[in-house]
Structure 1
Amino acid sequence: MSVGRAAIRRAWQRGEITSAPFIIDEHDRSDEDEPYRLSKAEMRKLLIKSKEWPHLHLFIMISLNTLARPGAVLDLAPNQVDLDARLIDLNPRGRKRTKKGRPIVPITDTLLPYITRRDVSRFVNWHGKPIQSIKKGFATVVSAAGLSKDTTPYSLRHTMAAELRARGVPAWEVEGLLGHKLPGTTERYAKFAPDYLSQGAAAIDAYFTDILNPKNKFDGFSRVCVPLAWHNDISPDGDIPKSLMFSMGKMVDPTGIEPVTPTMST
């Protein structure tokens, strides 16, 4: 049915037919086909297990922090990342911006340490080579983490979209992060505003606070950000050694505060 819809729509766009009928397949609109959304406990297991495959872990982190589609995550290159402006253009240079939007999104505090490299053609790669499809590898980590086989790469995007709405992020910000709305003449300058999609970015960081520190053992920090790529000491139930706690993008230990630097992230 979906193939038939696509063929008819293409024929209408090419002017081969004067109109296109509305076709709906009740089966593919059922609730059963909605992407599986992960609970916080399931997401914690996925994040921890994915550390055994660095390229999959990076794919997951970029997906969760940008809400991008899998293809956009696999395409993401250093020249799309503006570290000074703290923005990521998910649409590669030279690629036409289509209705299936690849928006410009803010860089969260959680994601920042993962995307500082400039010596790779793509952030998500296998031995330096771009990856064409992540489905097989993602299924492997899902199985290893003991999660439902219904968990797909799209589950990351839909889990975060639902999470942001649950945290009170305005619908227009969620739509902006998902790329559901193409910017108009005025809106295309929105990215220069200091509060551009700021509520969404803050909610994403807060989500990782909950994921990585579910027991709230360390009070007094307004934000906790622990990039998983930096250590292997997080237990499946979320315990984090105090020496590895991060607050507001800075490492906090019993002796003081040390700023996060590019050297540390490398």
Structure 2
Amino acid sequence: MPATYTPIEGFGEYSLVRHANGNFYIAWYEPTKRQTRRRGLKTKVTSDAMDRVRQISESGMTGDPLAALEAKVVRTVADVLNEHRNYVKDLASVEAETIHIDLICASAIANKRVAALTRRDFEALRDTWVATGTKISTVSRRLSTLRSAIKRAVDNKQLSANDAPKVPEFRSAHHVRAAEPKGDPCGTEALARLYDATEEPHLQLYLTMLFATAARRTSVLELEGKQIDREHSLLDLNTKGRVQTDKYRPVLPILAPLQLWLELIPDGRLIMWRDKPVISVKTGIRRAIARAGLPNDINSYSVRHSLGRFMNRAGVDDKQISVWLGHIRPPQNNKITLIYSPYAPEYMLDARQAAEKFIGEIAAQAKTPLLTPPNSVQAYLQRLIAVEKRDREG
């Protein structure tokens, strides 16, 4: 090696070297030419240069690292999160995820190297947020976005697994038990008022699906007509190809009072606005809540909590309620498998009957048709079907 280059450290088949002028290079031996080759790292900072060469080595690359060097470099927390923006923009939770990203990018850890982060850094960030009135549950949700961003950077070979810190979970079991519901539980009368105050047909459909399933907001927003098994009158809340997570999406029976809706529902995405999937309904629901004169702490989650309490008062078994709400996976015990098999006649019968009574009470108190699609929703669904047909025919 020419005397103008000083070896610094080896990383597999690559090594880090420094030129006499202070610039760092990645070096490797090329057998076909029987010579050592180098490419500039465009930095004089030792830590940055070492991170880059280690990252390239651990990515599994061999030979000329030009492609890796031309790829987007992520070193700081802000780098990782800004790359993550491209991923969250297509999620139903984009609004919340973007807020989390912005808050962390405005924090004291934003410009720190990811590889240098310590638990003390996360504790200081937690304490700063808590001091301004932020709840631990909110801190946890914000850090979950950073945790996801770091994992994706590692998966995409933009960050070495050895440089990925463990993002701590500060929310204890006590915090989970003591946490207030995300939406205040309310009665069927309040939900009927909310439904009546909802003017947009896509939101009327959204609420109807919410009443029928008490699913999480994202599950309903991502719902497609092809998830409906019309032969067996079942709705699989888990979209095809999606891996089940801790927030389990169950298969639920279609409620008898809503069978008439099935005839009009197309195969594609159901909650649309101007021919594009809706990623957030918060603004529309807030406006409907205001028009209905309901408390501000009522929201989409209120339906989940309200149906859960309704089922509990109706004497539904806790396990059935938990399966219906996606809190647990269906039990696999052979003795009770049939109870939780979607194709069994008695599939979650008690929960289904309670849910039908729940939506029946809402319909009885609402002025807007609920057991049959109102005219505005019928026109909306016909529009979706027409758009699907147009797209199929080119």
Relative to the length of structure 2, the TM-score reads 0.49
For the aligned residue pairs, the C-alpha RMSD in angstroms reads 3.6
Distance 2:352 2:172 in 1: 36
2:320 corresponding residue in structure 1: 173
User: Could you say if the C-alpha distance between residues 30 and 17 of structure 1 is closer, same or farther in structure 2, counting changes exceeding 3 Å?
Assistant: same
Higher RCO, 1 or 2 (CA under 8 Å, sep at least 6)? 1
1:197-253 CA-to-partner distances (Å, cap 9, x unmatched) read 121111111123333336xxxxxxxxxx95253479xxxxxxxxxxxxxxxxxxxxx
1:36-72 CA-to-partner distances (Å, cap 9, x unmatched) read 111222112112222x221111111101111110100
The count of residues paired between Structure 1 and Structure 2 equals: 222
Q: CA deviation at 1:112?
A: 2.4
Q: CA deviation at 1:22?
A: 6.0
1:78-116 CA-to-partner distances (Å, cap 9, x unmatched) read 110011101100001011111110110110012322343
Distance 2:218 2:166 in 1: 33
Distance 1:65 1:154 in 2: 13
User: Could you say if the C-alpha distance between residues 28 and 136 of structure 1 is closer, same or farther in structure 2, counting changes exceeding 3 Å?
Assistant: farther
* Residue identity opposite 1:199 in structure 2: D
1:88 and 1:105 in contact (8 A); partners too: yes
Residue 203 of structure 1 pairs with residue 203 of structure 2: no
Residue 104 of structure 1 pairs with residue 255 of structure 2: no
1:44 corresponding residue in structure 2: 192
User: Could you say if the C-alpha distance between residues 174 and 109 of structure 1 is closer, same or farther in structure 2, counting changes exceeding 3 Å?
Assistant: same
2:247 and 2:327 in contact (8 A); partners too: yes
User: Could you say if the C-alpha distance between residues 201 and 59 of structure 1 is closer, same or farther in structure 2, counting changes exceeding 3 Å?
Assistant: same
Q: CA deviation at 1:11?
A: 8.7
Secondary structure, in 3 states, of the residue corresponding to 1:213? helix
1:164 and 1:200 in contact (8 A); partners too: yes
Secondary structure, in 3 states, of the residue corresponding to 2:357? helix
Identity %: 27
Distance 2:171 2:218 in 1: 27
Residue 134 of structure 1 pairs with residue 285 of structure 2: no
Q: Which structure has greater helix proportion?
A: 2
Residue 153 of structure 1 pairs with residue 300 of structure 2: yes
2:242 corresponding residue in structure 1: 95
Structure 2: tracts of 5 or more residues without a match: 1-138, 152-160, 377-384, 386-394
Distance 2:143 2:266 in 1: 44
**Alignment of structure 1 residues 12-31 onto 2, 5 Å:** 23-24=171-172, 30=178
Residue 227 of structure 1 pairs with residue 374 of structure 2: no
* Residue identity opposite 2:353 in structure 1: A
User: Could you say if the C-alpha distance between residues 151 and 202 of structure 1 is closer, same or farther in structure 2, counting changes exceeding 3 Å?
Assistant: same
1:5 and 1:23 in contact (8 A); partners too: no
Relative to the length of structure 1, the TM-score reads 0.70
1:142-170 CA-to-partner distances (Å, cap 9, x unmatched) read 11111111111111111111111111111
Distance 2:361 2:274 in 1: 33
Q: CA deviation at 1:140?
A: 1.2
Q: CA deviation at 1:184?
A: 5.5
Distance 2:211 2:192 in 1: 12
Q: 141-150 or 3-12: which moved more?
A: 3-12
Structure 1: tracts of 5 or more residues without a match: 215-224, 233-265
1:262 corresponding residue in structure 2: none
Distance 1:118 1:201 in 2: 21
Secondary structure, in 3 states, of the residue corresponding to 2:252? strand
Q: 35-44 or 91-100: which moved more?
A: 35-44
Secondary structure, in 3 states, of the residue corresponding to 1:110? helix
